[in-house]
Amino acid sequence: MFGAANSLSDLFISDRLKRRKAHFIKVSIKIETGETRTVTLLHYLGWPLNSTPPSAKRLLEFRRKARRAGSPVVICPDGASRSGAYCLIDSLISAYSKGKEPKPAELLSALRDQRMKERIELTL
């Protein structure tokens, strides 16, 4: 889609900028309806499925970039493993940076509860 523009009724979407780094891709997408917004897509390449990230340093660098980009939507193909681990890591770091002492097991349970609630609501 890079360099392309798509229009659906009153919605216009176009790629604005694409940058490839060693371990992630950054794409800025302009979305126009009655107003114009730019959405930043960050695709992390350094975390193979069913494994741990080979570099904690690169994952933390990616996290810093993602936090600067705005409110995240975190996804992975199966919707649980890497995205869930990333959300847990992000939540723990955020809590520690605010001087809190989170309990990782409780936080993980809360993340799982949110995921399950959304899936249940989707089926109703």
Catalytic residues: 76
Give yes or no for a contact between 21 and 27, defined as CB atoms under 8 angstroms apart. no
Helix 81-97 × helix 104-123 angle, to 10°:
130
Cα 5 to Cα 12: distance, rounded to the nearest angstrom: 7
- 85/50 Cα distance (integer angstroms): 11
CA distances (Å), origin 53, targets 18, 82, 114: 24, 9, 24
